Structure 1
Amino acid sequence: MPSTYELFRIPVPPSEEDVIKYSQLRLLGLKTNPEAFGSTFEGESKNTHAQWKSRIDKEERFTIIARLVSRDSSETAREEWVGTASILTPTMWARSDADTYGVVGMWVHPEHRRKGLGKKLLEFGIEWVRTRTEGNPTATRLALEVHRGNEGAKKLYDGLAFVESRDELCEDPDRIPLFLVVK
């Protein structure tokens, strides 16, 4: 049964099925790798369906999903959501200057790591930022935070030319602020 990975943006407005699948993926990420997030499973598991929908039903939030699509011998497709990342516009990121976008909620299921999905998620988001800022004469930054002990993620971000920010601080001392100049 051949399988392929596909990336897509959750549409705005999202379908009810997308809201459910997103909440399940997010909660799995929080439970599996709590150190990778700024929030907790305990807190987010209390969210209502309306709260989950509100989170992804925004034009200012570009939520990307990586899914594994498998086809059986009858060509019936089965899909599994295995990774996610969201890009926030400067108004939603609201941490520094007006030209800084933010990456949040980056996570890939452990069984699907080391297959290039993290890089593909970020490249997909970087391209969205480039499209939104085309013609803007000022440099646009894409910022994120990484846990100090997450060597795999630090290597991924380094490979995409993210650098440590000297002028930003994280609320959590176990996190490092990074940024990428998009153009």
Structure 2
Amino acid sequence: MSNPRYEVFPISVPVSDEDVTNYSRLRLLGLKTNPEAFGSTFAGESTNTRETWRARIDTKERFTVIARLVTEDGSTKDARKEWVGTASVLTPEMARSASHVLVGMWVHPEHRRKGLGKRLIEVGIEWVRARTEGMTVERRQLMLEVHRGNDAAKALYGDLGFVELKDFECHDAGRIPLFVVAN
């Protein structure tokens, strides 16, 4: 069996019905598989309506990136149902913050350590860079919170230039804040 190939792409706005379905499935799987990695819960989100899911990703204030498996013949038609990773960047306006905020970062356990997390985040950083060119450093910052015990994620973020924000406390004491400037 050959090594799997992946495609990383942003969800287009307006979103398709298929993208709403695939996103909600992936998000719920992430919440169920790694509840410690999220600020919300499976119980809280499993009752979301289709319109709630649509409203979450069908906005220019949220940039959502997806990783999906590419089939053996190079097509993504069937693999489209097998999204394996996601990350979203909230604009400062949506996050009610001075900076952009990375949220919902998750890669399915069977597809980890293949560079997908890095690729998802790089696309998010590039989006921040493109939309904030010429703006203040604060506006070009991308912040996130990571679980203190998640050493693999902390290493990944460190490799991408994220550093700990020492003068900021997360609401959850089990998390630490990190940031990078999208230059």
Give the TM-score, by structure 2 length: 0.93
Contact kept, 8 Å, 2:8 with 2:66, in 1: the verdict is yes
- Paired residues in the alignment total 179
Q: 2: CA distance between counterparts of 1:114 and 1:21?
A: 22
Q: Residue 152 of structure 1 aligns with which residue?
A: 152
8 A contact 1:88–1:101 mirrored in 2: yes
Are 1:62 and 1:86, in contact at CA under 8 Å, matched by a contact in 2?
yes
Distance apart, 1:72 and its partner CA = 4.7
Q: Please list every run of 5 or more consecutive structure 2 residues that lacks an aligned counterpart in the other structure.
A: none
Q: Spell out the pairing of 1:73-84 with structure 2 (5 A cutoff).
A: 77-79=77-79, 80-84=82-86
Matched residues in 2 for 1:120 and 1:76: separation? 18
C-alpha deviation, 1:138, in angstroms: 3.7
Counterpart residue number, 1:162: 162
Go from structure 1 to structure 2 and tell me whether the alpha carbon gap of 1:131 and 1:71 turns closer, same or farther (over 3 Å shift).
Answer: same
Hey, what's the Cα distance between the residues in 2 that align with 1:157 and 1:170? 17
Change (3 A) 1:137 1:104: closer
Report Cα offsets for 1:18-63 as digits up to 9, x if no partner. 0000000000000000000000000000100000000001101000
Which residue of structure 2 lines up, in the alignment, with residue 117 of structure 1?
116
Shift of 1:76: 8.2
SS in 2 for 1:177: strand
Partner of 2:128: 129
CA contact (8 A) 1:71 1:78 kept: no
Task: Report the counterpart of residue 23 of structure 1 in structure 2.
Answer: 24
Letter in 2 for 1:125: G
For normalisation by structure 1, the TM-score amounts to 0.93
3-state SS of 1:71 partner: coil
Q: Equivalents in 2 of 1:71, 1:54: separation in Å?
A: 34
Aligned pairs for 1:1-183 within 5 A: 3-72=4-73, 77-79=77-79, 80-95=82-97, 97=98, 100-139=99-138, 140-183=140-183
The Cα RMSD (Å) is 1.7
Deviates further, 163-172 or 2-11: 2-11
For structure 1, the residue ranges without an aligned partner over 5 or more in a row are none
Structure with the larger strand share? 1
